[in-house]
A = this chain, B = another copy of it.
C-alpha cells in the first residue's frame, strides 16, 4: 500500500494531548477510507505537524483529515523510504 507524508501548518502551541486527540480521531474513522495513520510528529514552535500513513490514495488521506476537522495543507506520496 502506498505511503504518504502529510503536513499541517499553523498548529503553533499544539500540546501532546491535542496531538494525541487529533491522531485518535483519525484512527477512529480511517478504516472507512482504507487508510492507516502510522505515526505523527509535531513542532509546537513552527506549528508544523507531520503524519505518516498508508493509504490507497492522497484523496483518501485528505478525506480522513477533513472529516476529523484538521485538513492537511500538503499531502505527498513517499514511494521511497529508508529505515
Chain A residues in the interface with B (C-beta under 8 A): 3, 5, 14-16, 19-20, 23, 38-46, 48, 50, 52, 76-83
Known A14-B80, A20-B82, A41-B82; 12 more pairs at CB < 8 Å: A3-B41, A23-B82, A38-B83, A39-B81, A39-B83, A41-B52, A42-B78, A42-B79, A42-B80, A43-B76, A43-B80, A50-B50
Dominant SS among interface residues on chain A: strand
A50 touching B23, Cβ below 8 Å: no
Contact of A48 among B39, B40, B44, B76 (CB under 8 A): B76
Contact of A45 among B39, B44, B77 (CB under 8 A): B77
B residues near A52, Cβ cutoff 8 Å: 41
20 intermolecular pairs with C-beta atoms under 8 Å apart: A19-B80, A20-B82, A39-B81, A39-B83, A40-B81, A40-B82, A40-B83, A41-B52, A41-B78, A41-B80, A41-B82, A42-B79, A43-B76, A44-B79, A45-B76, A45-B77, A46-B76, A48-B76, A50-B50, A50-B78
